[in-house]
Structures are given as structure tokens and as C-alpha cells.
Chain A
Amino acid sequence: MRRRHFLSLSAESVGGLLIYSLQRTPLRAQSQSGTIRVPLKFFTEKQALLLAAAAARIFPSDDTGPGANEAGVVLYIDRQLASAYGRDRFRYTAEPFLDGPPELGHQGPLTPRQIYSEGLAQLEGIDTLSPEDADAKLRSIERTPFFSLLRQHTIEGMFCDPMHGGNIDKIGWQLIGFPGPRMSYFSEVDSYYGKPFRPRPESLSEILGRPVTPSEDEEPA
């Protein structure tokens, strides 16, 4: 049995926003102070802090708005790696693993979990570095498969449906004006030419009015 790990988020950073626990029951941060402890499914707290620090340099919080930390990107990655995806559920993994031209795609034998495990070793100490030094550290691994996966997962965690752990309170969708899933744009499709249509984003379970089981929580087929 794995020892339980938690990621502590400051309630200030999430500002009383809606967080979904891993058990899918919404937790409302009641106060603007103190911390919220979110249980981790795959990473240790130390690993989660390293990844959070790296993701926050890829998609920083700055004067253009919140970033990976506020969106809970590391929670998204934690849940994905804990699920069948982390064990390479979505890849043909028969041997032999041979190198080929780039047009034939990634041919390596490592699962996403193993890629992260190797990558985390290279992030050692990044959570204590200055932003400039953290960027330099990331630039040194920019061409590794780990970094490209981390970049991709950071974007995914910014903009996924909140049921997957990232995009807390639809903060990513608010940033880009994406309404989320929406049943109809029949009257808007040709009446907003050249003008932004920016309704308040809603998640899938909000528009359906009921909980939706995220795919990562389904029994593996």
C-alpha cells in the first residue's frame, strides 16, 4: 500500500475556487487563507512540487494571467499517470523496439510513467531556483522526450475539463474565452461576426446537471 501523499495548495492561490477531490466530491475552499491538502494518486509530494515548479515555468503566472499553478496542472498529470495512460494503455507496445526516421513516430520502449521517472531526476532542485535559473535548467532538457511530454501535459492540464484535475474552476477556459462544452450555438453562429462571444464557461457535468465519470477512473478494458 502506497503511503498517502498530499499536495498543499495555498487557498490564496486558488482563491476560494472549486476544487474536485480525487474522489470526485467537490471541496469548496471556505476561506481565503490557510492551505488545502489535495491527495496525490501517483507522485510523492516532493515529485509533485518539482513538476509544479517546472510546469509553472512552461505556463507561468504573470501579468497576462494565471498559469499552471492556479490551474492545478500537476493534479492533472498525477491522475493521468496513475491511470491506464501511465501504463501505456494507448500505444502499440509489441517488440522489437527499433529506431527509425522521425516520420514513423516515437518508437521508444518507455511508458509515460518511466519517462516521468527519468525526467524527474533532471528536475532535482528546480523548486528552489530563481525563475531565470529554473528556465535555464529547463532549456538544458528542452529536446528530451520528457520535456515535450511535460509541455504537452501542461497545456492539457490548463485546458481539460475540470473533472480531470486541471483547469481548476475553468481558469484556463476563462483565460482564452473558451466556453467549454455547450449544447448549441445555433443563434450565435452567424450573429457574432467579428465580435467575441464569451459566455461564462461551464464544465461537462455543469451543462449535464450530473456527475460524469472521467475516463481515467474507468475500469481498464
Chain B
Amino acid sequence: MRTLKPVDVVIVGGGWTGLLMAKELSADSARSIVVLERGPARKTADYIDDMDELDYAIRLRMMQDIRHETVTVRHTVQDRALPVRQYGSFLPGTGTGGGGEHWSGISYRYLPQSFKIASHLRERYGAARLPEDHALQDWPVTFDELEPFYWQAEQLLGLSGKAGNLRGKRQPGGNIFEGPRSHEYPTPPMKRPYLAELFHQAATKLGYHPHPLPAATNSQSYRNPDGILRSGCVYCGYCERYGCMIGAKAQPTNTLLPVLNRRRNFTLRNGCWVRRVVVESGKARGVTYIDVSGEEVFQPAEMVMLASWSINNTRLLLLSKIGEPYNPATGKGQIGRNLTHQVSLPAAMAFFPQPLNRFIGAGSAGVAIADFDADFLDHSDLGFQGGGIIYTVCYGFRPMANFGVVPTSVKSTWGSDWKKAALHHYDRTGRISFYGEHHSYRSHYMDLDPTYKDKYGDPLIRMTIDWTDNERRMGAHMSVKAAEIARAMGATEITPHPGLRRYDATRYQSTHIQGGVIMGDSPENSAINSYHQLWQTPNLFVLGASAWPQNPSVNPTLTALALTHRAAHAIRTRSLL
């Protein structure tokens, strides 16, 4: 195997966390940085002709090539895992920018209490009320420590929204349940498409506290602290599963790459499939990868960073035999544990008498309430812990994937009666959705599959995951609340969510997979410290939401960026190595 010229830092994965870390560390011009990205190069100009639903939303052009690698899933350790053969419950991105190119951009901060959830629940309800099998854990970092880095990430994105808690003062119109912010959002809230306006009015009438979804799509043109100018959103409705053709949605290629491309100490290599991290005598020496020409090479580096999303980060450590694989029978081992997804539900389908123009919108143009998040609701008679946000987002409704939804009063799924109903309801149907907490459990984890392999013969990740009664009861409760809001919005027919049963790998939920390489305050309860640094191998960092001890309801990207900023800051100022 050929050995390449050594570099200071090699980063695996050219998405949000990898390129952000590269930008921060390459600010010191003496440090050489190489980013290895498996997928193709991407840039804003590529997206000018991407408004094709078949190519992008159905054939999934932006996603990892599932022919080459997928995951296997089973519900319990007794079951045989089978491969996810077609994408379903999550959509891992590939190419420069990764999932950050095709995301929706909904960018909440986590709540202060989310970082201390295990102690909070124990204090409030007593250990006996927690699920027997739970693996909930406090984070080794607090909201207050992270706040300045949240603010940095929000400026990077030009986040639009409305503060609900500015330095401890409640702000009407914002999310009053949030932790205190040091600053108002960089750009004002996005315009409200009609369905979001209906939700806003109904939630206000019901006494809730509606607020604009924090959006990484700028509401107006904005220049970030790096000097990158991006235009405001025009609500074309092609965000999730697409790249933004005008750069209004913050993506790694339109925020980080323009800065990095000017730096001579930065190199991005596309088409590079990393297979192993090489560790000798407790120190990472570099990575081996198959390059774009098909040759396997060794890239030596002083510092190795994995930034390839939760599943791939975990898999690379397991394939490289770094750390101890988690064993659910004994609870020992740190790599692969605390796998969580997100309780993401179409909580109620609402059928309206009037047209909604649902093709207008953006992936994060919407309104939410946090009145049912965390412990803001009274759980005493509910039989579950936690909560989440109820929201509606006008992401731009496109017909190939969405045509044909009809109220339950229509019994047929094809033919004249169905067609008549589906045509009538097509632009009169709205969705009230829910993003909820997914606790971690001792029995939910990732390991290497014994049967199925990727295109190079390496084992796939096997996910052992299911819903428990906590998520099922939470989902049922929130569907009732969502249906009440839909009624107040003027819906004439409402189909509540039928209820969660088993974890369903075929229905899209979100691409928010967390855990596998979690952070904690000691090597006894975690794989990495709060700076994403492996306890046993301090020059190896594992970035992103693989570090989450559990899922705290809302979407993880902003927190992943804030924690990356914090780690980069520590590397630059405190010489962690």
C-alpha cells in the first residue's frame, strides 16, 4: 500500500462537522488539513437544474449509493437483522456537504434541561418512574457553556427566527420555553406560508405559544462573519432532498467551502472511501482509503477526525477495532451504544375546504409550539416521559410522491372514486407533525452485521432498535393534540396518526440518527469527552451526533455545529494534544 505525504489533520467526511472543523483549524496557516469525502464534488451551480422530483426526491441523487452500502435492522437481539434494501426511515447524504446539502434547515438549540436529562428526571419523578431498560445520561457539557458556540453556529448559517428568551427576558412571538440567548437571531423570521399562518392563528387561539421554526434558510440577504454573502429565500419549495439553487439555504458548499477554497493549507479529496483508522501504541497514525482511481493508500496524520455521520463513525471504529464494542448483555463496551432515532410523526393529516397552495414554501418555513416539549407539560397522568414540538412546515409539496392522500371516508386507493377525491384534496391537505424525544435504552445499539457486507467486503452496521411504550404513548398523546389544532385551523376531516407499533425502516422519519460514540464525563460511561476526543486515543476525534447520549426531540445539526466549534476552539487555544 502506497503511503502518502503526512499531514497534520485528516478528516473523514466533508459534511457540516468535517468542513467546519477544517475551516476552524485551517485558520492557523501552518496546519495542513486533508478532508476525505466519499461522494462527488458539489457546488451551488449544480443545483440550478435540480428541480426534478424524480431525480432528486425519488431516485435520491444526493444520497449514499445504497447498492454499495446500507445498514441492517432488527427489533431485538433475538431477531435476525435484514438489510434496508431501499431507503426508508432515514436518508444519509453523500458528496461534498453531505447531508448538509439536502437538509431542511430546521435549527433549534437544545434546552438547558436536555443536557441534564437523567438527573432532572430522577430528581423530579424518582428513579422508579424511569423505564427499566433506559440508558439516559447527562451530557458532559451544559447549555451555558455551549451558548457562545450556538451563537457562532447561528451566525455561520445566518439563522432566521425570533428569540423567545433574550438574556432571561421572555420575548413575545418567539419560543418562550427556550434557554436564554445572548443575541437575537441573525435574520428575522421567514414569511409564513398559508398553512403555517393557519397553524399560527389556531395555536394562538388555543392558548399555546407559536413561534417561527428556526430556519437555516435566510429570510433576507445576510453576510456572515466570514464575509460570505447569501441571498434570502424565495420559497420555491425545493429544499429537503435538494440542494438550494440560489444558496439561500445554508449548506457546507455555500458557507464553508468558499472560505476553505481560498486556503492553501486545505485539500479536499472526493471519491475517497475510508476503510480503516490506523492506531498504534494508543495513537492514531492516519487512515487507509480507496481513492478515486481504485488504489488503496495510507494517509498518515498527526490528528484524525471522523465526521462521517453517526452510523459511519461508529462503523469505522468497529471495523478498525478501536475501543470495546458494546455488549447489551453485560452493558460493557462503549462503541455502538445508545443508538437513538427521533419520534418523528405525521401526527395528523388535516383536510381543508379551501386550497392551500402547498407547493409554495421552504424546508423550514413553518410554525411550531414547544408547549408539549420536555417537561413543559404535566406528565403525572400520561404514562410517558418527555415530549417534543408540534409543528407544521410548508416544505413545498410535490405531486409524484405526495399525490393520492385522501380522508379515511374514501375507501378506494385507485379508480374513478379515488381519483376524484385525490384531485379534490390534493391542494387542500395539510400535515401537522411532531418531533419527539427518543430516549436511549440498553437494548438499542449498533454492531457489525455477521452476514451482509459493503462493496469492499466489509460488514455493514447492524442496528438493533425498536419503539417502546414511552414513544408509543407519547406519539398517541401528541396526535390527539395535533388533531385539536387541526380542528381549530378549520380542517373538516382529520386523520390522526394510527399509532407507533414496531420501528419501521420503510417510512421516512428523519435522518437524525444519534449515538454509537457517545460523550460523557468518564471512560466508564462514554467513548469520548466533551471535546469529541476519544478517551483512549486523544489524537482521534469523533464529531457529530454520534456523540449524543440520547435524542432530545428537536433536530441535531445546530448542536453538532456548536459542539464542533467548541472542540475546534479548545484544540486551537488549549492545545488538547
Q: Which residues of A contact B (CB under 8 A)?
A: 57-60, 62, 64-65, 67, 85, 89-94, 96, 98, 100-107, 135, 138, 151, 154-156, 158-161, 163-164, 172-173, 175-179, 181-186, 188-190, 192-197, 204, 207-208, 212, 214-215, 221
- Can you name 5 A-B pairs with beta carbons within 8 Å? A62-B419, A106-B85, A155-B399, A163-B52, A215-B55
Q: What is the bound-complex CA distance between A164 and B234, given in angstroms?
A: 27
Which of B52, B59, B404, B413 touches A90 (beta carbons < 8 Å)?
A: B59
In the complex, the chain B residue whose C-beta lies closest to that of A89 is B67
Tell me the minimal C-beta distance from B102 to chain A in angstroms: 16
Task: Assess the A204–B419 pair: CB atoms within 8 A.
Answer: no
In the complex, the chain B residue whose C-beta lies closest to that of A88 is B67
Q: In the assembled complex, which residues on chain A have CB atoms less than 8 Å from the CB atom of B264?
A: none
Q: A59-B419, A161-B52 are in contact. Are A101 and B502 (CB under 8 A)?
A: yes
Q: What is the bound-complex CA distance between A60 and B193, given in angstroms?
A: 33
In the complex, the chain A residue whose C-beta lies closest to that of B88 is A105
Task: Assess the A92–B237 pair: CB atoms within 8 A.
Answer: no
Q: Does B73 make an interface contact (CB < 8 A)?
A: yes
Task: Assess the A155–B59 pair: CB atoms within 8 A.
Answer: no
The A contact surface, by secondary structure, is loop
Q: A64-B420, A67-B419, A189-B193 are in contact. Are A181 and B427 (CB under 8 A)?
A: no
Task: Assess the A193–B235 pair: CB atoms within 8 A.
Answer: no
Task: Assess the B399–A193 pair: CB atoms within 8 A.
Answer: no
Task: Assess the B84–A185 pair: CB atoms within 8 A.
Answer: no
Task: Assess the A161–B505 pair: CB atoms within 8 A.
Answer: no
Q: In the assembled complex, which residues on chain B have CB atoms less than 8 Å from the CB atom of A176?
A: 399, 403, 423, 426-427
Which of B54, B67, B70, B191 touches A189 (beta carbons < 8 Å)?
A: B191
Q: In the assembled complex, which residues on chain A have CB atoms less than 8 Å from the CB atom of B414?
A: 57-59, 138, 151, 154
Q: Give the residues from 176 to 200 in chain B that come closer than 8 angstroms, CB to CB, to chain A.
A: 191-194, 197
15 other contacts beyond A103-B505, A189-B361, with CB at 8 A cut-off? A59-B414, A62-B419, A64-B420, A90-B60, A92-B69, A103-B504, A104-B505, A105-B85, A105-B88, A135-B415, A151-B414, A161-B53, A181-B238, A196-B427, A214-B55
Q: Does B575 make an interface contact (CB < 8 A)?
A: no
Task: Assess the B194–A194 pair: CB atoms within 8 A.
Answer: yes
Q: Mark B197-218, 1 if CB is under 8 A from A, else 0.
A: 1000000000000000000000
Q: Mark B22-51, 1 if CB is under 8 A from A, else 0.
A: 000000000000000000000000001101
Q: In the assembled complex, which residues on chain A have CB atoms less than 8 Å from the CB atom of B61?
A: 215
Q: In the assembled complex, which residues on chain A have CB atoms less than 8 Å from the CB atom of B360?
A: 185, 188-189, 192, 197
Task: Assess the A190–B85 pair: CB atoms within 8 A.
Answer: no
Tell me the minimal C-beta distance from B411 to chain A in angstroms: 13
Q: What is the bound-complex CA distance between A196 and B420, given in angstroms?
A: 18
Q: In the assembled complex, which residues on chain A have CB atoms less than 8 Å from the CB atom of B49?
A: 204, 208, 212
Q: In the assembled complex, which residues on chain A have CB atoms less than 8 Å from the CB atom of B505?
A: 103-105
Q: In the assembled complex, which residues on chain B have CB atoms less than 8 Å from the CB atom of A158?
A: 399, 403
Shortest beta-carbon contacts, A-B, top 3: A181-B51, A184-B234, A159-B399
Which of B237, B427, B452, B506 touches A185 (beta carbons < 8 Å)?
A: B237
User: Contacting chain A: which of B161-169, B351-359, B561-569?
Assistant: B351-359
Task: Assess the A184–B84 pair: CB atoms within 8 A.
Answer: no
Q: A64-B419, A197-B360, A212-B52 are in contact. Are A107 and B235 (CB under 8 A)?
A: no
Q: In the assembled complex, which residues on chain A have CB atoms less than 8 Å from the CB atom of B82?
A: 98, 100, 104, 107
In the complex, the chain A residue whose C-beta lies closest to that of B55 is A215
Q: What is the bound-complex CA distance between A46 and B413, given in angstroms?
A: 27
Q: What is the bound-complex CA distance between A131 and B503, given in angstroms?
A: 40
Tell me the minimal C-beta distance from A50 to chain B in angstroms: 17
In the complex, the chain B residue whose C-beta lies closest to that of A156 is B400
Tell me the minimal C-beta distance from A114 to chain B in angstroms: 15
Q: In the assembled complex, which residues on chain B have CB atoms less than 8 Å from the CB atom of A212?
A: 49, 52
Q: In the assembled complex, which residues on chain A have CB atoms less than 8 Å from the CB atom of B453?
A: 94
Tell me the minimal C-beta distance from B183 to chain A in angstroms: 26
Q: A60-B415, A184-B236 are in contact. Are A215 and B59 (CB under 8 A)?
A: yes
In the complex, the chain A residue whose C-beta lies closest to that of B425 is A176
Q: A103-B505, A173-B399, A183-B234 are in contact. Are A57 and B415 (CB under 8 A)?
A: yes
Tell me the minimal C-beta distance from A101 to chain B in angstroms: 7
Task: Assess the A196–B416 pair: CB atoms within 8 A.
Answer: no
Q: What is the bound-complex CA distance between A57 and B414, given in angstroms?
A: 8
Q: What is the bound-complex CA distance between A196 and B80, given in angstroms?
A: 51
Task: Assess the A104–B67 pair: CB atoms within 8 A.
Answer: no
Q: What is the bound-complex CA distance between A95 and B357, given in angstroms?
A: 45
Task: Assess the B355–A178 pair: CB atoms within 8 A.
Answer: no
Task: Assess the B427–A177 pair: CB atoms within 8 A.
Answer: yes
Q: Does B83 make an interface contact (CB < 8 A)?
A: yes
